[in-house]
Amino acid sequence: MSALPLQGIKILDLTRVLAGPLSAQMLGDLGAEVIKIERPGGGDDARAFGPPYLVDPAGKEKNNNSFYLCANRNKKSVTVNIATEEGQAIIRELAKSCDVMMENYKVGDLKRYKLDYDTIKAINPGIIYCSVTGFGQTGPYAPRAGYDAILQAMGGLMSVTGHLDGEPGAGPMKVGPSIVDYMTGLNSSIAILSALYHRDANGGEGQHVDVCLFDTVIASLSHWAQIYLVNGQTPPRRGTWGNGGMPAGVFRCTDGELMLVVGNDGQYARTCAVLGSPELATDPRFLKNNDRVVHGKEIMAIFAGLFLKKPVAYWLDELEKAGVPCGPINDFAQVFADPHVRARGMEIKVDHPFEHALSLIRNPLTFSGTPVKDYRAPPLLGADTKKVLATIGYDEAKVEVLKKQGIV
């Protein structure tokens, strides 16, 4: 078995909250050494984003909550106060030996600390410097701070998410998880890896990478936004209805609900047979998928009545036999109890100082030759400060002095 793909890559991570930390975690999973810089005393803002928290051996809830735990494994935590000159000097010294530096401060903030790209490039020309922001490094909104929900609203995602117009509760709706942060984290990882490849394989140089939530959410709307670009019309909110094949959506059964997506005409005919209404497959209103899209309300209403006749398990079994894509609507308990999820090992256990077998979600990438197997728990605040600073000449006595001064 070979080394992990990014073994030998060193990353200085000044990001906080979610998008940047998720990207750095991805790179850490893949073998990079990630040095996470946190504020002395408080640490990453995400540590204070609310319960649940892990409880320390004394029974106290400290700053190790779920928000922080989901995005910070496989990192080293080093506390540095970058508002001080000594703290800034420490960051610049660490940056000299790093391949990548990541930050998600507001545009221009790090320039006053001499930690901006131009300053870091001057001491390490080959560095890949990735800035993750709400609105990017250019444009009229560049100075603004941005959080996931704001970008869901401004980027158009909420305008096409929610119940169908005319239904109770209709109107713009936010997607539950911080999905724009997650996608931005993935884009940041792609950008960093591309820049590293350009530098190392193509004889290129280091560069400044600009990734933002606003660009990401707009790009993620893909075929929905393309509809607008083609005909000038924003597609309507569809609730749980599908985006292509019809009929598609949530259907209520005698004991719960299921999700069905009929992707082509063959699947439609087989679904009609399973539902005991094969004549629907030859009904001229519903012959082709485009016909079913035009008559969407009619076919969805007919299917709704048919699904109400049997329980969820019955329909899932019969539709699976017929080769029609469908699935139960699982809560998290059902997700992590699902035999396929368990077979794929999506829940992993790590040894955390406060919990011997802490559950985390595994990295979703699977490699045949370089599998990701080494998962280290998200670090306690400042856990690696002494060891990391020792690599740049700070002995234990010096670190203790800096601690007393609030610098580390």
Rounded to a whole number of angstroms, the distance between the first and last alpha carbons of the chain is: 39
| Tally of residues, the chain | 408
Contacts of 361 (CB under 8 A, 6+ apart): 70, 346, 347, 348
Q: Phi and psi at residue 112, in whole multiples of 5°?
A: -70, -20
Residue given tokens 């002494």 in the structure block: 386
Q: Name the amino acid, one letter, at 364.
A: P
Q: Alpha-carbon dihedral of residues 169, 172, 176, 180, nearest 10 degrees?
A: 170
For 17-44, give one letter per residue: b (16+ CB within 10 A) or e.
bbbbbbbbbbbbbbbbbbbbbbbbeebb
CA distance 80 to 387: 13
- Residue of 397, 405, 404, 388 lying closest to 95 (CA atoms): 388
CA distance 180 to 212: 10
- Residue of 254, 255, 222, 240 lying closest to 326 (CA atoms): 240
Q: What are the structure tokens assigned to 16, written together? A: 């906080």
* CA-based R_g, the chain, Å: 25
Say which of 181, 210, 265, 395 is annotated catalytic.
181
- Residue of 140, 224, 150, 226 lying closest to 184 (CA atoms): 150
Strands of 248-252's sheet in order across: 248-252, 257-261, 326-328
Q: What are the structure tokens assigned to 126, written together? A: 């080959």
CA distance 142 to 131: 12
Q: What are the structure tokens assigned to 403, written together? A: 């601690």
Q: Name the amino acid, one letter, at 183.
A: M
Strands (E) in 187-236, as ranges, are 207-212
Known active-site residue 374: no
Catalytic site residues? 181
